[in-house]
Amino acid sequence: MKKHILSVLFLLILTLGCSLSVFAEEEPTKYIVDEMGVLSDDEIDELNAYADYLSAETGIDILLVFTYEEDLDAYVEETSLGSLDDQILMIENEDYWSIFSRGTAWDILDEEKENRIREAYDNEEYYNDAVAAYLYEAASVFGENIDGALQVNEAAASTIILDKAIRVVDMADLLNDTEEEVLLSQLDEISERQQVDIAVVTVNSLDGKSPMEYADDFYDYNGYGFGANNDGILLLVSMEDRDWWISTTGYGIEALTDAGINYISEKFLPMLSDGDYADAFSTYAKLCDEFITQAKNAEPFDIGNMPQEPFDIVFNLSIALLIGLAVAFVITAMMKSQLKSVRFQSEAANYVKKDSMKVTQSKDLFLYRNVDRREKPKESSSSGGSSTHTSSSGTTHGGGGGKF
């Protein structure tokens, strides 16, 4: 009996141990530790997800700690973070911060590369942005050196990959903080109301890709889109060669036809060329909203069915009146100048010299004819709609672009 009880207890202990082991394995890896409370819970979750993605890409754990501990060396020795033997750890307290590395990271990291990482962190104003910049720059440093081949893709890595993509990603720093906040609020409101993502992305370089490839990949790999078809529209602006591209996906393809993209671009490109980036992006957002509404309520805007420009009747009538008065004044002035040598006569006969005109012959002359002409119908040069292509992820996109 005792042997039976002991056997049961042994099985229970073994089962409990296995269960605890499973639960321990399921605990997510910690990359970001904030003991100072400089980040919100949501920001920590986002940055942990970002660090997990970049660490997997490079094969090196990229870690960061905010702590009140004064002895950072001792803290590092006592703290276990990440899951790999190869690590880089930036740790900061109230007075200073330092970078520690081990394994492959130690072999790669020299003074020049460490300064790159430090500068990326220091150049940002807010903690959330600074940590994201540190993570990305560290991943870039290691991505350039591991096996001499691995490269971290900026389009896939520059936005934290979560349930909700960021609709304003200003990597080229074309907007100030206030302009970016206003634009983000505008895009969020339109996107949520229409259930179609509207995004703006600016970059300094396309990393060797075409504008179409970069825009499509950025959309596909950063979690944009509503519903099963990932409905959305993304405007990419690259300052490298002053390229722009609008990438459409799902319902965005239907709402913005090729002709629609041309129409919208004609409205914001002059502002983009003049450097009025905030106005250009706001105009793009408003027109996307208008085109989506049209597509949902009627036929999408397309060839022969574009938005009508508002007619200002007061302004146009005033211009027409001024032009008419000016023309009349010029004509009467010319006629008056030609009559300076003629004196006023009381009767019309006084203007004719007596016996100077004699009619010797008369006949009928054909002077006018009425011709009714009708225009021959012309075949349309385009059938309208949206041309599509397939991106590297296998997703169908529409779109169009050019230079500004």
Provide CB contacts within 8 A for 159, sequence distance 6+.
165, 166, 169, 218, 222, 223
User: Tell me, what's the pLDDT at 345?
Assistant: 64
Angle, vertex CA 132, rays to CA 54 and CA 161, nearest 5: 55
Nearest to 351 by CA among 343, 361, 340: 343
Strands (E), 5-129: 32-34, 61-66, 87-92, 97-102
Alpha carbons 320 and 63: distance in angstroms, whole number: 70
Is 139 in contact with 157 (CB distance < 8 Å)?
Answer: yes
Looking at residue 62, what is its pLDDT?
93
Q: Please tell me the chain's helix, strand, coil percentages from 3-state DSSP, rounded to the nearest 5.
A: 50, 15, 35
> DSSP string of 97-111?
EEEEEETHHHHH--H
Distance CA 109, CA 120 (A): 15
Q: Which of 5, 97, 98, 100 is nearest to 62 (CA)?
A: 100
- Number of residues in the chain: 404
Sheet order of strands, 232-238 included:
168-170, 197-203, 232-238, 243-249, 396-403, 388-390
What stretches in the chain show pLDDT beneath 50? 1-3, 5-6, 8-14, 19-25, 146-163, 380-381
pLDDT tens, residue by residue, 201-238: 999 999 899 999 999 999 998 889 999 999 999 999 99
Q: Which of 178-211 are b and which e, b meaning 16 or more Cβ less than 10 Å from the residue's Cβ?
A: ebbeebbebbbebbeebebbbbbbbbeebeebeb
What tokens does 101 get? 């590395």
Model pTM score: 0.52
* Paired strand residues for 98: 91
Angle at alpha carbon of residue 157, lines to 32 and 117, rounded to 5°: 60
Closest CA to 240 of 204, 272, 266, 211: 204
Phi, psi (deg, nearest 5) at residue 177: -60, -40
Q: What angle do CA 250, 256, 258 make, to 5 degrees?
A: 115
Contact yes or no for 241/210 (Cβ under 8 A): no
Task: Provide the pairing of β-strand 87-92 with 97-102.
Answer: antiparallel
Residue 309 DSSP class:
P
